[in-house]
C-alpha cells in the first residue's frame, strides 16, 4: 500500500519520546543545520534568492529532521533506546524543534544576504572612486596608479610592463570597470585583484573571485 503523504513526518511525531530524547534530537538537528550551511545557501540561490515564510516553504528543515532521525536509528544503542520511547507523543515537541530549525535557517540566510549587501556596497564605492578620482590601484585600493610608456606602477609595489605601449589611464580604467561589471552580472561578490610574478613572461594584472571560481587577465 502506498505511503500516505506526510506519513514520514507523522512517524516522527508518533515515535519520539521523553524529554532526554527531545534534547538529543534537538541538538542533533541544530548541529546538522549548522553543518549544512553550504547546502542551504545552494538551495537558496537555486530558488532565485527568495522564499516565502512558513514551515511549508523552508528549504532544508524537513530534510535535516529526517536525516537526524535516521541517524538516531542507526546508532548501536538504538534497540535499547527504542524501548525507552513513549507513544503517542505530543506534536508540540517536534513542532517546537521544527520552529527552532526554521529560525536558524532564516538566520543563516539573513547573514548571507547581509554579506551580499556589503559586497555590493564595496563594489559601488570602488566603481565610484574609479570614476571620480585619479585611477586607484585595484590591488591595494589606496594609492594612485602612474602610467607612462606602457609601464604601470604603484607605491604599493605594483609594477607591470604592459604588452601594449599605448595603454593609458582611461583605457585601463575602462577595462577595469568593464571587467568588474561583467563579473557582477553573474556573481554578487566583490572580485580581488593581484599581480602574477612570471619569470619568463611579463607580470600581469589578474582579477579573480573565490566565490564563483573565475579569473580574468586585465593587463
DSSP 113-127: HHHHHHHHHHHHHHH
Task: Please check the confidence at residue 113 and state whether its pLDDT lies above 80.
Answer: yes
- pLDDT, tens digit, for every residue of 25-79? 888 888 989 888 888 888 888 887 665 544 446 888 888 888 888 887 776 555 5
* CB contact at 8 A, 97 and 65: yes
Task: Please check the confidence at residue 6 and state whether its pLDDT lies above 70.
Answer: no
Q: What is the pLDDT of residue 87?
A: 46
How confident is residue 13, by pLDDT bands cut at 50, 70 and 90?
very low
Cell numbers 537526524 correspond to 68
Q: What is the pLDDT of residue 167?
A: 80
* CB contact at 8 A, 62 and 94: no
Q: What is the pLDDT of residue 202?
A: 75
According to the per-residue pLDDT averaged within each range, which of 69-73, 93-97, 179-183, 199-203 is highest?
179-183
Q: Give the helix ranges, DSSP H, for the chain.
A: 7-15, 19-35, 37-46, 61-74, 78-82, 91-132, 169-184
Q: Can you give the pTM of this predicted structure?
A: 0.46
Handedness of CA 178, 180, 182, 184 (dihedral sign): negative
Amino acid at each position: 500500500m502506498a505511503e500516505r503523504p506526510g506519513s514520514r513526518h507523522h512517524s516522527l511525531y508518533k515515535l519520539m519520546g521523553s524529554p532526554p530524547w527531545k534534547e538529543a534530537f534537538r541538538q542533533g538537528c541544530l548541529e546538522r543545520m549548522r553543518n549544512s550551511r553550504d547546502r542551504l545557501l545552494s538551495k537558496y540561490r537555486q530558488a532565485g534568492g527568495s522564499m516565502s515564510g512558513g514551515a511549508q516553504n523552508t528549504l532544508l528543515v524537513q530534510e535535516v529532521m529526517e536525516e537526524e532521525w535516521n541517524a538516531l536509528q542507526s546508532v548501536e544503542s538504538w534497540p535499547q533506546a527504542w524501548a525507552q520511547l513513549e507513544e503517542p507523543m505530543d506534536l508540540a515537541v517536534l513542532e517546537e524543534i521544527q520552529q527552532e530549525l526554521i529560525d536558524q535557517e532564516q538566520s543563516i540566510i539573513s547573514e548571507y544576504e547581509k554579506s551580499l549587501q556589503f559586497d555590493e556596497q564595496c563594489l559601488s564605492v570602488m566603481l565610484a572612486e574609479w570614476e571620480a578620482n585619479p585611477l586607484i590601484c585595484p590591488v591595494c585600493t589606496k594609492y594612485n596608479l602612474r602610467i607612462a610608456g606602457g609601464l604601470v606602477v604603484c607605491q604599493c609595489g605594483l609594477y607591470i610592463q604592459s604588452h601594449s605601449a599605448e595603454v593609458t589611464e582611461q583605457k585601463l580604467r575602462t577595462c577595469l570597470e568593464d571587467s568588474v561589471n561583467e563579473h557582477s552580472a553573474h556573481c554578487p561578490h566583490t572580485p580581488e585583484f593581484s599581480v602574477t610574478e612570471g619569470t619568463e613572461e611579463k607580470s600581469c594584472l589578474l582579477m579573480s573571485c573565490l566565490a564563483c571560481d573565475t579569473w580574468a587577465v586585465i593587463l
